[in-house]
Amino acid sequence: MKRQRKKYETPKKPWDKQRIEREKKLLKEYGLRRKREIWRAEALLRKYRRIARELNARPDEEREKQLFAKLKKLGILASENATLDDVLSLTVESFLERRLQTLVYRKGLANTPKHARQLIVHGKVFIGDRKVPFPSYLVPVDEEGKIRVVTEG
């Protein structure tokens, strides 16, 4: 069986006041359960920024196209003619905005972000015909219109 790896890194300075305050604000705004969810989004951001920096140093058309295609599919890069600078200017919020929990709340299918989370965990949220029980699911642009909440049954 394949060993599960951590998908995040804990902060290097555990008692940094500005970071703690910023994380508290994000927890409240996006209705997250624990800071680990923020750290996972930061890890994703670090991954894509690292790839963009490598491509800036050693240009590779094919990898650059793949990077832009992946980020456009996820809805993180909006513009059609994006550059590496756009990837480098991404923030944690751009990843948190694409989570299923946030999208259910933003579409008005739930009253609060925490309510959206509860609906998802209880199996009331479907994307097309598929039940998605993960609040952290990053919703691709083509699936965004298929999100629906089934309250009965």
Position 152 scores a pLDDT of 77
What average pLDDT score do residues 82-94 get?
Answer: 96
Question: Rounded to 10 degrees, what is the CA torsion of 110, 114, 135, 21?
Answer: 130
Mean pLDDT confidence for 82-105:
97
User: In three state form, how does the secondary structure of the chain look?
Assistant: CCCCCCCCCCCCCCCCHHHHHHHHHHHHHHCCCCHHHHHHHHHHHHHHHHHHHHHHHCCCHHHHHHHHHHHHHHCCCCCCCCCHHHHHCCCHHHHHCCEHHHHHHHCCCCCCHHHHHHHHHCCCEEECCEECCCCCCECCHHHHHHEEECCCC
Across the chain, what does the average pLDDT equal?
Answer: 96
* 22 pLDDT higher than 90: yes
Buried b (16+ CB within 10 A) or exposed e, 89-116: ebebebbbbbbbbbbbbeeebbeebbeb
pLDDT at 52 over 70: yes
Both tokens of 96, joined, read 């948190």
Residue whose structure tokens are 């919703």? 139
The pLDDT score that the predictor gives to residue 78 is: 86
pLDDT for 139 equals 98
Q: Tens of pLDDT along 23-44?
A: 999 999 999 999 999 999 999 9
pLDDT of 153 over the 70 cut: no
